[in-house]
């Protein structure tokens, strides 16, 4: 979800501060494939979250690995 937010911020910045004379349609042609991917990601997010949660409950190994990944990610972002 947060990746999508930062991508939309980038697109907004790109549209507002572009230095060429492209029109909005030209820009949208370039970013449309990324917007389609974002739509698919958001559409399947609930289903994917439920699947991860069910595996987490069934497997201690999976649950521990997931915790390890999340801790590393938190540490990475807290260092920046």
71 close to 64: Cβ distance less than 8 angstroms: no
42 Cβ contact partners less than 8 Å away, ≥ 6 residues apart:
1, 4
Task: Give me the tens of pLDDT residue by residue for the chain, a chain 80 residues long.
Answer: 445 556 666 666 666 666 666 677 777 777 788 787 778 777 888 888 899 899 999 999 999 998 998 888 888 777 76
pLDDT at 1: 43
pLDDT at 80: 66
Taking the C-alpha atoms of residue 37 and residue 32, their distance in angstroms, rounded to an integer, is: 9
């Amino acid at each position: 979800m947060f990746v999508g937010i930062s991508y939309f911020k980038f697109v907004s910045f790109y549209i507002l501060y572009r230095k060429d004379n492209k029109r909005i349609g030209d820009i949208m042609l370039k970013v449309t494939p990324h917007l389609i991917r974002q739509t698919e990601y958001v559409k399947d997010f609930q289903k994917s979250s439920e699947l991860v949660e069910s595996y987490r409950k069934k497997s201690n190994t999976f649950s521990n690995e997931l915790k390890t990944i999340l801790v590393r990610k938190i540490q990475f972002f807290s260092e920046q």
